Structure 1
């Protein structure tokens, strides 16, 4: 399965809005418009494995895609989310990367940080 970067952003924004007492939520139970259960489970497993969120495995023998129970967003996850939170930064990041077929989350983070820094510099008159 291919990682959907839109799903990465939307899932992190969704998880951030959860009240802390509901933070024990299986990715399989999350519904986000425009994304299938499999996309959300796959994206959630990538976010856990890459250290953007903490979670525990809830994968059963019947699962074809790993399933995790979301626990919290890590500092690394919040740093990434804060870089891509702004629709303007996200849009410009996607444009900057549009000529590439696939990019890693690390590349998205680097490019979005550069876009954000450029907008800050521009706003400060540099």
Structure 2
């Protein structure tokens, strides 16, 4: 399965906007407007990859009824990544720069390019 970078960004932005007692249940992701456009399989895969990358704190519950994937909060690394891609103009500029050159990149490279884009906008590079 291919990681959808738009889903990654929307997932993190949604999770960041929740209160302390709220969480994203990937089995019921359509309760969040920003995630409704994605198939459940894309949301669950995004959840799994963000957890593997240590970008989210999560809980997985397995039972006879199936598996629940709950994203509870964003980690320090997740916040650093999100801060680099939060701004719509930075996100758009980053995607234009990256995907005009190559068809796919990892999240760390995407974050690095976004950071460079921000630095150039601030006149720091």
TM interval, short-chain normalised: 0.7 to 0.9
Q: Is the 8 A contact 1:42 1:67 kept in 2?
A: no
Q: How many residues align?
A: 120
**Structure 1, unaligned runs of 5 or more:** none
> 2:114 corresponds to which residue?
112
The structural deviation recorded for 1:59 is 4.6
User: Which structure: greater strand fraction?
Assistant: 2
Q: 2:40 aligns with which of 32, 37, 40?
A: 37
**What's the TM-score once normalised by structure 2's chain length?**
0.86
> Residue by residue, what CA displacement relative to the aligned partner does 1:15-43 show, whole Å, maximum 9, x if unpaired?
111111113x4222222132111101110
RMSD of aligned alpha carbons: 2.0
Q: Is the 8 A contact 2:56 2:71 kept in 1?
A: yes
SS in 2 for 1:21: coil
SS in 1 for 2:54: coil
Q: Is the 8 A contact 2:85 2:91 kept in 1?
A: yes
Find out whether 1:48 has 2:66 as its counterpart: no
Q: Which runs of 4+ in 1 moved over 6 A?
A: none
**What's the TM-score once normalised by structure 1's chain length?**
0.86
Q: Is the 8 A contact 2:29 2:36 kept in 1?
A: no
